[in-house]
Chains A and B, each alone.
Chain A
Amino acid sequence: MRELQSQEIEDIAVGAAILGSGGGGDPFIGKLMAVQAIAAHGPVRLVTPDELPADGLAVPVAMMGAPTVVVEKIPNGQEIGRAFAALSSFLGQEVVGIVPIEAGGLNSMLPLALASTLGIPAIDLDGMGRAFPELQMVTFHLGGISATPMVIVDEKGNQCLLETIDNLWTERLARALTVQMGGSAMIALYPMTVWQAAQHGIQGTITLAERLGRALREARQTNRSPIDRLLEVGHGYRLFTGKVTDVLRRTAGGFVRGDVRIEGLDSCRDYILTIAFQNENLVATIDGEVIASVPDLIVVLDAETGLPITTEALHYGLRVAVAGFPCAEQWRTPAGLEVCGPRYFGYDVDYKPIETVRLPWA
């Protein structure tokens, strides 16, 4: 068991933005909520699954909807606690551990705020190891765990309990409720045992986010290259260095799709990298050849500070380094790729693990 204070929260927030792979929303609001909670209720207890009873109830919590809505309609602060209490009373069981569902972006922070508020430990794992847009894109789904019974609540006091026939229906119905609730909602779902969480979750991802964030902070303080440190800590690869020269966005199928074009600098001079994104960065190509794709993480970093840049913030003229990090092994199985490989997002390319790709400029 480790106690997380506000400095650790700051580091995790930065690391979570990196793991967001361009999406997941800015963790800023969640970070303020977690820091406020810690000031009021004390530190977050972060545990590994073996510290909890194997048959105890573990529940993931998250925000569903548009991060842009959350930065404007800030939560009430009680929503997740209510969703949690409702689910726990429906199941007639105490919750022993809170599971972050998504290590990347805003959703990394909300479980930690809740853990501090309720005094229930947070378990050091998650269901994505990054950020993804849909509810079934979690390793718990691959493990055959049902997303329901699920509780979805808003800040106005509305509360719904969903029981669905499969996890795709959960996504569909919960998305419709989210829109009605005002574009963002709080959810508690995939109730499971601690043993199942350990079995199917991606372990150590909160600590990984913290180490990434700390690496950036310390690199800045010691004048080391922040990007090299991130690659070291996250076992990543430098995919490209260049300048953003074009960003194209369009709305298709209800979500924002886009392409960013990056012209090479230094050793990447004479090459052009294109990243296709839909909320997150999904497929990176050089001269039509795929050099990285979802579910591996493609992260655009500010070339100087190493801070991650979200797809919403991409604009002409940014000087960037593009990093690739390997995804969790669970995603590399046929079942995993079916849920969140490039074809699920509509790109007709084969997934190749990032460590097997030869970079044309290297």
Chain B
Amino acid sequence: MGMTTLKGKAMNLRLGIDVGGTNTDAVVLDEKANLLARFKSPTTPDVTSGIRNALAGLVERHPELNLGAIRYAMLGTTHCTNAILERRKLNRVGILRIGAPATLAIPPLVGWPPDLRDAIGGHYVIVEGGHEYDGREIRPLDTKAIREAAKTFRGKVDSVAVVGVFSPVDFSHEERAADILRDVLGDIPITLSHEIGSIGLLERENASILNAAVIDAARTAATGFAQALSEHGIRAEMFFSQNDGTLMALEYAIRYPILTVASGPANSIRGAAFLSGLRDAIVVDVGGTSTDVGILVNGFPRESSIAVEIGGVRTNFRMPDLISIALGGGTRIHRSLDGLRIGPDSVGYRITEEAYVFGGQTLTLSDIAVAAGLASIGDPRRVEDLDRGLVREVIDKVRRLVEDTIDRIKTSAEPMPVVLVGGGSVIVPPGLAGAAEIYRPENYDVANAIGAAIAQCSGEIERIFSLDELTREQALEMAREMARQEAIRAGAHPETVEIVDVIEVPLAYLPGNATRIRVRAAGDLALITSHS
């Protein structure tokens, strides 16, 4: 701090780290978002040591960096996703549903994969309470039953998920339940469903249970990141990437770790937006094993509108709209009597040993890209003798595959700009149909880490508003204000917060006195200097 003050100018550097399937990337940007340093390192099974390696590599390669000037450190990590997919290191979750006598027809955890259900313990209690769509109580909250439930949870659960019927309309029962739970169980992590998901009890309940189950995984990630930073004397404010391409302050991330699921693709999309300067575009992110095609709308990744499954569980949890195909720099080319087949298998991170151009014996898409003159990696002489017809055929197939995927995600027949990012994107040939223009911005291969580093903080609310006492305009203004406050809680500077998205859907089959409103707001990190 002293040094920057002496220069009379704040040096607010930003560190961004993003964990991908193949590589963990780290970048440092200055306050005008110029890239000062970058480093790629293989992702490790435990994730944390990969993050540590990436940071150590970055520091070693760029001794000129003033580490003390790193003010913000952003991490996009797969700790929580992996915990769910691998059913490892999950918290045992106590589930408290508030809604009886409603909801008894379908108890919690119905339809869960048995191994995941076992991993979180399967403890649930349903008590009386909850609300109607218009905010009336179904029944008064049964506080005595909650106290009893808390006692049965004692010693058997590490965290609690509280799910009230129509809590997106009125969350007071969830909050009162949390007070009682804390009273009995002490300092235990409690997830309130109205903070996690929207209307749709089972899906919101599932997302809340998963959130409660990955609290420790998020803490592990946070501790590991903090240690890695302090090893290099970096004393920065820490943020986690979430899956809408924005950031959460550390303490917020530990409460809502489920929001980190699928943050990687969101970071790439935001990074692509930043690097290309576009606000509306298709983003093709090619890694070592797979390609994610997403769409940028008004500067943010478009959200998927369908129920998404995480680890085999149906949730209504927000996720970026993505189409993933098995196409990457390490994708293998199979030749047989039946003809030519691309993938779906990949050599992944072993590409630097196994691909032809790196002296290996496996024909990969990267080799074809080098042979076609699209890329210059490894030793081009090793692919000189490849059959030209084969090279052309593979390139044509890749082009058609990418064009097809772009077409599927598009919103209209109009050509749209396409931004290519990710280390494997050299395999995409030029001249894609349906693309107005193709951008391959500088530093395309670390777009994800850049996306993490430049991200804003955001807040989102979704509620049903009864229009008996409010006008529609009042309801919308109330929703906007709540989203604004939520963004500020997540770390946004109040003066920079803007509303980025408003969706309103009146409820079907009900006389028109209720409407569902969802608003998202986003703003810059607190205290950042302006770009001008």
Contact = CB atoms under 8 A, between A and B. Distances in A.
Interface of A: 23, 25, 29, 32-33, 36, 65-69, 71-78, 133, 155-157, 175, 179, 182-183, 243, 245, 249, 251-256, 263, 265, 279, 311-313, 315-317, 319
Contact of A65 (B103, B139, B509): B509
Interface string B193-220: 0000001111000000000000000000
B506 interface: yes
Contacts of A243: 412-413
B506 A74 contact: no
A20 B273 CA distance: 40
A315 B302 CA distance: 12
Contacts of A29: 106, 202
A313 B199 CA distance: 14
A183 B305 contact: no
Contacts of B403: none
Nearest to B409: A317
A255 B509 contact: yes
Contacts of A23: 508-509
Contact of B305 (A25, A36, A315): A315
B512 A73 contact: no
The 8 closest A-B pairs by CB, nearest first: A77-B105, A254-B511, A317-B411, A251-B512, A182-B132, A66-B510, A74-B103, A155-B102
Nearest to A178: B510
A72 B516 CA distance: 13
Given A32-B110, A71-B199, A245 B412 contact: yes
B356 to A, nearest CB: 34
B106 A316 contact: no
Contacts of B103: 73-76
B503 to A, nearest CB: 10
A183 B101 contact: no
B505 A183 contact: no
A319 B199 contact: no
A255 to B, nearest CB: 7
B101 A76 contact: yes
A156 B139 CA distance: 8
B465 interface: no
B506 A256 contact: yes
B305 A313 contact: yes
A279 B110 contact: no
Contacts of A183: 132-134, 507, 510, 514
Contacts of B491: none
A256 B101 contact: no
Chain B contact surface mostly: loop
Given A254-B511, A313-B305, 9 more contacts: A29-B106, A71-B199, A71-B201, A74-B105, A75-B103, A249-B505, A253-B512, A255-B511, A263-B413
Contacts of A265: 413
Contacts of A32: 105-106, 110-111, 202
A250 to B, nearest CB: 8
Nearest to B99: A73
B401 interface: no
Contact of A73 (B165, B409, B410, B510): B165
A314 B313 CA distance: 24
Contacts of A65: 509-510
B512 A254 contact: yes
Contacts of A249: 505-506
A57 B105 CA distance: 27
Nearest to B104: A76
B303 to A, nearest CB: 10
B330 interface: no
Contacts of B506: 249, 251, 256
Contact of A36 (B101, B106, B409): B106
A69 B510 contact: yes
A66 B509 contact: yes
B102 A256 contact: no
A23 B507 CA distance: 12
Given A23-B508, A256-B512, A279-B509, A74 B133 contact: no
B136 interface: yes
B413 A157 contact: no
Contacts of A256: 506-508, 512
A290 B102 CA distance: 44
Contacts of A255: 508-509, 511-512
A175 B511 CA distance: 9
Interface in B120-154: 130, 132-134, 136, 138-139
B505 A312 contact: yes
B507 A69 contact: yes
